[in-house]
C-alpha cells in the first residue's frame, strides 16, 4: 500500500452497499475497467463519468455491506479510486479490499467533516487523514499486525503461493 495517498473526494453516507457500488445486473463482467463504467450508478450517475484517477471515496458507517462480490472493490479500483475512507467497513468488503489491493482506511472522525470535492491526504503509516481543504486532521485506525504483514508481503495470493511451497 502507498504510504501517502492524496486525492479529491466523493462523499457518500452510511451503509453504502455492494449492490449500489456495482449492481448485480453487471456481474457477468469481470474486468475492473468494464465494471467501472457502472460503479455507483444507482445512487450517483455522475460518478462513473466524473471520477478521475487518484480520487478518494469517503463513506460513513458499514461501508460495503451486503453481498460478497469482489466485483465491488474491483469496480472502485477500475475507476481509478486510490483509497476508500469510511467510519468503518462491513467485514467481507474489508477482506476483499485487502485482497485485491484497494487501500481502505477506517477514520470515524472524518464523518461530517468532509464534502464532495475536498482534497484529502492520507498518511497510512502515521495513521492520519488530513482534509487539506478545511485544514482539519483526524486519526485513523491502524491495521492489525497480521494484516500489515499480509499486505506488505504482497497480499493474500503471494502468501498462498509461499504457503503452498511450505515457506509460510
Cα–Cα distance for residue pair 68/18, rounded to 1 Å: 8
How many residues sit close enough to another protein to count as binding (CB under 8 A)? 42
Least Å distance between CB 147 and another protein?
A: 8
Q: Which of 33, 115, 132, 161 binds another protein (CB under 8 A)?
A: 161
- Supply the angle between the helices 91-100 and 156-164 in degrees, to the nearest 10: 70
- Residue 73 burial (CB < 10 Å; 0-12/13-18/19+)? buried
Stretch that binds another protein, among 5-13, 50-58, 106-114, 150-158 (CB under 8 A): 150-158
Cα–Cα distance for residue pair 131/101, rounded to 1 Å: 23
Cα–Cα distance for residue pair 161/163, rounded to 1 Å: 5
Asked if 48 touches another protein (CB under 8 A), the answer is no
Per CB under 8 A, residues contacting another protein are 15, 17, 19-20, 23-25, 27-30, 41-43, 61-62, 65-71, 74, 88, 90-92, 95-96, 99-100, 144, 146, 150, 156-157, 159-161, 163-164
Amino acid at each position: 500500500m502507498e504510504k501517502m495517498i492524496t486525492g479529491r473526494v466523493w462523499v457518500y453516507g452510511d451503509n453504502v452497499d455492494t449492490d449500489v457500488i456495482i449492481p448485480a445486473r453487471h456481474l457477468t463482467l469481470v474486468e475492473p475497467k468494464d465494471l467501472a463504467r457502472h460503479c455507483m450508478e444507482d445512487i450517483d450517475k455522475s460518478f462513473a463519468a466524473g471520477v478521475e484517477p487518484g480520487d478518494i471515496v469517503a463513506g460513513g458507517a458499514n461501508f460495503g455491506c451486503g453481498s460478497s462480490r469482489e466485483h465491488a472493490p474491483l469496480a472502485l479500483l477500475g475507476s481509478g479510486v486510490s483509497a476508500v475512507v469510511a467510519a468503518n467497513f462491513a467485514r467481507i468488503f474489508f477482506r476483499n479490499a485487502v485482497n485485491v489491493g484497494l487501500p481502505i482506511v477506517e477514520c470515524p472522525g472524518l464523518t461530517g467533516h468532509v464534502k464532495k470535492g475536498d482534497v484529502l491526504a492520507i498518511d497510512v503509516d502515521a495513521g492520519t487523514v488530513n482534509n487539506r481543504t478545511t485544514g482539519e486532521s483526524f486519526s485513523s485506525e491502524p491495521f492489525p499486525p497480521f494484516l500489515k504483514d499480509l499486505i506488505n508481503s504482497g497480499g493474500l495470493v503471494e502468501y498462498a503461493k509461499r504457503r503452498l511451497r511450505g515457506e509460510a
